[in-house]
Amino acid sequence: MIRLKDVSKVYEGATVAVRDVSLDIQKGEFVFLVGPSGSGKSTLIRLLLREEAVTHGVIWVAGKDITRLPTWKVPYLRRSIGTVFQDFKLLPRKTVAENVAFTLEVLGRPRSVIGPQVGQVLELVGLADKTDRYPRQLSGGEQQRVSIARAFVNRPPILLADEPTGNLDPATSVGIMKLLDRINRTGTTIVMATHDHAIVDAMQRRVVQLESGSVVRDEASGRYETMSEVP
């Protein structure tokens, strides 16, 4: 589903964010990207979304080399990838339903399809009774649920999550992770960058650890830290 080969990203000023990363992520996998701040987790997510261009290497998403994608085709790539961010990135002047519907509006879906599909996904994330609220009227956990609903409403094959629980308390984080787990069970590939030890340890999914931009560990059913690192 996602393949990275010798991918590197160097920012202006010669800061190496990602160095020679090669990864294969299969369809339906749930992959945690872990590592300290500045290790390159978020940059990797940004490269997958083509928010950044690679300095070297190739990234294939669903069999397509996205590093050679012309700028005008980038929106098409993003429509096939759902994205959840730490700061939710909701449109502040749209209601919950409008935020979720926006993804489908972009795709040009007819209104007869948008209404039921939005209702369905809001039911899934437990916000069916808050469709007319604005983001500022919701708690952090609720905003993140809206963000997940928006990312999942068009049933994308891939969902990228960049620290989705970073701004949430532990109890709310558990709810969000349950939701992501549920989405993953529908066959959606999930790549999630996180700092949250408890979540990674509890989920027991594939863990890719980054340090200074390089992959230092890739375990199929891992924990946040290797056993040798646990004091």
Partner 1 sequence: MNRVSYLVREAFVNLRRNALVVTGAILAVFISLSFAFGALVVNELVRVNTVAWQQGVHIIAFLKDESDAGIGSDAHAALFSELLTWEEVKTAVYFDKADAFREAQEILPPDILSEIDPSILPASLRVELHDIDLYQNVQFRLVGSPVVRKVVSLGDRIEALSSLSRVLNRLGLGLALVLGFGAVVLIANTIRMAIYARRDEVAIMKLVGASNGFIRVPFFIEGMLEGLLGAALAVIVVWAFSRNLADAGEALPLFNFTLRDSFFYRWGILFLIFGGAAGLIGSVVGLRRFLREADGARPVVGRRVLEEV
| Residues that bind partner 1 in the complex, under the rule CB under 8 A | 8, 10-12, 14, 16, 49-56, 71-72, 74-79, 83, 89-93, 102-103, 105-111, 150-151
Nearer to partner 1 (CB atom), residue 9 or residue 130: 9
DSSP 8-state class, residue 153 = T
Residue 71's Cβ-count burial label (10 Å; 0-12, 13-18, 19+) is exposed
Task: List own/partner pairs for 167-174 with CB under 8 A and 24 or more apart.
Answer: 167/86, 167/87, 167/88, 167/140, 168/140, 168/141, 168/144, 169/141, 170/198, 172/139, 172/140, 172/141, 172/144, 173/198, 173/199, 174/199
Nearer to partner 1 (CB atom), residue 8 or residue 184: 8
Residue 118 CB, nearest approach to partner 1 (Å): 14
Nearer to partner 1 (CB atom), residue 8 or residue 194: 8
Nearer to partner 1 (CB atom), residue 107 or residue 216: 107
Nearer to partner 1 (CB atom), residue 107 or residue 202: 107
Residue 171 CB, nearest approach to partner 1 (Å): 27
Nearer to partner 1 (CB atom), residue 90 or residue 179: 90
Mention every residue, 6+ apart, whose C-beta is less than 8 A from residue 38: 212
Residue 186 CB, nearest approach to partner 1 (Å): 20
Residue 135 CB, nearest approach to partner 1 (Å): 11
Residue 82 CB, nearest approach to partner 1 (Å): 9
Contact 41, 33 (CB under 8 A): yes
User: How far is the C-alpha of 162 from the C-alpha of 118, rounded, in Å?
Assistant: 23
The alpha helices in the chain, defined as continuous H runs, are 41-48, 74-79, 96-107, 111-124, 140-152, 170-185, 197-203
DSSP 8-state class, residue 100 = H
Residue 160 CB, nearest approach to partner 1 (Å): 10
DSSP 8-state class, residue 60 = E
Please count the residues of the chain.
231
Position 43: which residue type?
T
